[in-house]
Amino acid sequence: MTGFAQTDTLPKQTTDTIKIGGMVIIREPGGNYDSTRKRDKIFRISSRRSSDKPANLSTNWWIFDIGFSNYVDNTNYPVAIAPGIGEEDMKARAGKSRNIGIWVFMQRLNMIKHVVNLKYGLGLELNNYHFDNKDIRFNKSPTMIDKGFTGLSKNKLAADYLTVPIMLNFNFTPNKRQNFGVSAGVSAGWLYSARQKVKNDGKVDKTKSDFDLRKWKLSYIGEIALGPVKIYGSYAFKSMFEEGLDLTPYNVGLRFSNW
């Protein structure tokens, strides 16, 4: 608890301020004067916002992303892939291929006056690539691609990563709860699960394999904070496949977080 007084030239015209945690109590001059207790009776109580002094290290738990997945196809057809498979067959269905992010936590570390911060975290990236051509089949041991399916209602390749993002954050409104700013950096993702899932006549079949996907995915990442609206994006350094297909993945969508 701290206190201080300001006194002007007129008698009994003092203002006392007492701060208790997030509450401020101010005794102002004027009003009804109590001659027995020799003091004014006017008090004003206000609260201090916690955002007046941002913490040097803040943590945001359980952040969720929802967006779209796709890739840039630089595959050399048909040299790298079996005859009969072309670029049109490997196109991802726009609007249907999705990206989900589940971040256990993200932390923001103050570097320069809470305007420049280091931002990092840990979470899961779940990517589902639906193909325009539902006949595409990924065979395993060894990995091969052909048109082995017919009459499917659903065909997707899922690739899930345990990911660590690291970004440099520029917060243009450090004293406000709703931030306006940008972040940019890189992420490293480890492939912990991959599978092809098909559906035919209501029956679902899953084939689990890495299908020659790279174990590690390194990506450029970014985020734009517009108050309550957060937009994220990522673009991988290289193809998500070790060999054969040359498909460089990218994601874009909305992020639901406190900052």
Residue with tokens 């570097």: 111
Query: How many C-beta atoms surround the C-beta of residue 61 within 10 A?
Result: 11
Q: Specify the pLDDT at position 2.
A: 47
Residues 65 and 254 sit within 8 Å (Cβ to Cβ)? yes
Q: Specify the pLDDT at position 116.
A: 97
- Per domain, the residue ranges of the chain are 2-48, 54-256
pLDDT in tens, the chain (259 residues): 344 444 445 455 556 666 665 566 666 665 555 555 555 555 566 554 544 678 999 999 999 999 999 999 999 887 777 778 888 889 999 889 999 999 999 999 999 999 999 999 999 999 999 998 889 998 888 888 888 888 888 899 999 999 999 999 999 999 888 889 999 999 999 999 999 999 988 889 899 999 999 999 999 999 999 998 999 999 999 999 998 899 999 999 999 998 8
3-state secondary structure of 7: strand
Residues 118 and 108 sit within 8 Å (Cβ to Cβ)? yes
- Please give the model's pTM, rounded to 2 decimal places: 0.78
Q: Specify the pLDDT at position 18.
A: 67
Which residues touch 32 (CB under 8 Å, ≥6 apart)? Answer: 40, 41
- The DSSP element (H or E) to which 130 belongs, if any, is strand 116-130
Which residues touch 79 (CB under 8 Å, ≥6 apart)? Answer: none
Tokens found for residue 85: 């498979």
